[in-house]
Amino acid sequence: MNLDIQIAGTKTVRGWLNLKNLIEKDFNNEALWNKAFTFFKDRLFTRYINPAQKIQNDIRSEFVGEGFAISTILCSLIEALETFYQGKHFTPQKPQNEYEYTNGHSKKIFTNFLTQREPFKSEFKSLASDFYFNVRCSLLHEAATRNGWEIRVDTARLIEKDGDKKVLNRCLFIESVKKYIKSYKQELLKDNERKKAFIRKMDSICNTA
C-alpha cells in the first residue's frame, strides 16, 4: 500500500487512514463524516463528473456525438456509486466474503442502482436491463448504442421514448448523478450501515492503491 498515492483529488491513502482512525473513536461525529464524504466527492468529481461537465460546457456547434463521451464516462461511474452504497468491491479472484464480487455480477449491481436509487428509479423502471446491455455495455465495449437507444439533449426527461427510439438526455444524465450524490450524503450522515459500507469501500480502494 502506497500511503502517499492520491485517491481523491489531492487526498491520499494516508489522509483516509488517519481520518478513519478518528472516526472509529467517535463513530457518529458528523464533522468527521462530512470530511469523509469529501473523499468520495473529490474522487468522483475530479476523475469523472468534472471531465464530463467540461465536455458538456465546451460544446461547439461543429461538435457531433459528444453525448457518447459524456455517457461513457458516467456509465463507467454507476457501478462505483452502487458499490459505495453497498460497501462492496470487485476482485478478479474468487470472492472470499459477501462484500467481494467478481466477473458476471456487474449487471446486477448496475441495474440495482438504476432501479433503487433516486432520481434514477422513477425514470428507468423496466428499462434498466435494456440500458445496461444496449447503452452501458455497448458504449464501453463497442463505442456505440444499440436496440433503438439514442443520446440527445432535446428531451424534457432523462429517459424518453420517441416512437421506436429510447432517448437518453446527456445533460440530465449529469444532473441526475449530481442529485444522487447529494442525497447519498444525507443518507450517509444518518445511517450507520451506509457508514460501515463507506469504510469498507474506501479501505478496498486504499488496499489496491
Name the H helices within 9-154: 13-25, 30-44, 50-57, 66-86, 106-116, 121-124, 128-131, 138-142
Instruction: Report the alpha-carbon distance of residue 200 to residue 32 in Å, rounded.
Output: 16
Cα distance between residue 121 and residue 145, in whole Å: 21
Amino acid at 54: K
User: 183: how many CB neighbours lie within 10 A of its CB?
Assistant: 12
Evaluate whether 188 touches 195 at the Cβ level (below 8 Å): yes
C-alpha cell read off for 152: 440527445
Beta bridge partners of 33: none
pLDDT digits (tens, 9 = 90+) for 80-100: 999 999 999 999 989 889 999
In whole angstroms, how far apart are CA 146 and each of 5, 72, 176? 39, 14, 22
Q: Where are the chain's structural domains?
A: 6-207
Per-position pLDDT tens, the chain of length 209: 899 999 999 999 999 999 999 999 999 999 999 999 999 999 999 999 999 999 988 875 445 688 999 999 999 999 999 999 999 999 998 988 999 999 999 999 999 999 999 999 999 989 999 999 999 999 999 999 999 999 999 899 999 998 889 999 999 999 999 999 999 999 999 999 999 999 999 999 999 87
- Nearest Cα residue to 81 out of 172, 181, 173, 182: 181
Cα distances (angstroms) measured from residue 49 to each of 56, 59, 74: 10, 16, 7
Report the alpha-carbon angle 180-184-185, nearest 5.
Answer: 120
Pairing of β 159-162 and β 165-169: antiparallel
